[in-house]
Structure formats: structure tokens, C-alpha cells
């Protein structure tokens, strides 16, 4: 009975450790602008290169799609790291992104001049 109890306790501890590393925030800052934040930790580091940043960029795309923004793409204007704590034990914080939509407006149609009816019938 003790072995089962210990096994159950161990299983519950493992389930309790399971969680998500995706802690984010999103706000529209205008019709074509947005603010996005992502929390960092020892798994999802704050560096701006590597796998963690690629994951955050994918999360931004997911958030923009969810909010129906930027179908033609986006540009990040600023990226800033705000640490939770400074010192030896500070290993996380928020990365704040300020971005805007890229508007790929198609060029206006070419102007086609219609010949007047008189010119057509003159030939």
C-alpha cells in the first residue's frame, strides 16, 4: 500500500509541474498598431536570437491572427526587456514589443481611356 501511495504522490507531483511556458499579453494601440508582451524564464530565455525568439515571433503571429490584424504582415518597431528582479536570482522578465501592420495596398488600376462613340463609328 505504501508503494502505491508513493507512486500516486510522485505522479501528482509530476502533473503539478506540467504547465505552459507561454505567458503573453496583447493590446491594440491603434487601428494598425499593437503592443505584445511575452514573459521569459529559464526555459524561454530573453535573448533576441535563437529558438526562444523564434517561438515568440510565432506567438505574435498567432495573436495577430486571433485579433484579425495585419493580414499582410507586421513590423516590430521596438523590443525591450524588462527584468522581474535584478541580481543573481533574477532569471525572468517581460519582453515588450511595439509593432504595426504592413499595409500592402495594391496599386491603383491602370487608367484606360474609352474612345468616344463618334470615333468608333468614324472608321
Radius of gyration of the chain (CA): 27
Across the chain, what does the average pLDDT equal?
Answer: 76
Digit-coded pLDDT (tens) for 1-28: 455 554 444 444 444 444 556 788 999 9
DSSP run (H or E) holding 82:
strand 74-83
Per-residue confidence (pLDDT) for residue 52, from 0 to 100: 87
Q: How far is 64 from 101, CA to CA, in rounded Å?
A: 9
Distance of CA 41 to the CA centre of its chain: 17
Distance (Å, rounded) from C-alpha 7 to C-alpha 78?
A: 49
Query: For the whole model, what pTM was predicted?
Result: 0.64
Amino acid at each position: 500500500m505504501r508503494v502505491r501511495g508513493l507512486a500516486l504522490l510522485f505522479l501528482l507531483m509530476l502533473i503539478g509541474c506540467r504547465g505552459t511556458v507561454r505567458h503573453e499579453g496583447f493590446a491594440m494601440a491603434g487601428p494598425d498598431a499593437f503592443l505584445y508582451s511575452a514573459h521569459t524564464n529559464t526555459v524561454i530565455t530573453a535573448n533576441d536570437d535563437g529558438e526562444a525568439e523564434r517561438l515568440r515571433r510565432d506567438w505574435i503571429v498567432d495573436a495577430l491572427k486571433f485579433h484579425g490584424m495585419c493580414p499582410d504582415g507586421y513590423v516590430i518597431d521596438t523590443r525591450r526587456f524588462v527584468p522581474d528582479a535584478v541580481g543573481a536570482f533574477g532569471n525572468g522578465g517581460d519582453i515588450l514589443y511595439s509593432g504595426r501592420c504592413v499595409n500592402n495596398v495594391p496599386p491603383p488600376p491602370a487608367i484606360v481611356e474609352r474612345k468616344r462613340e463618334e470615333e468608333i463609328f468614324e472608321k
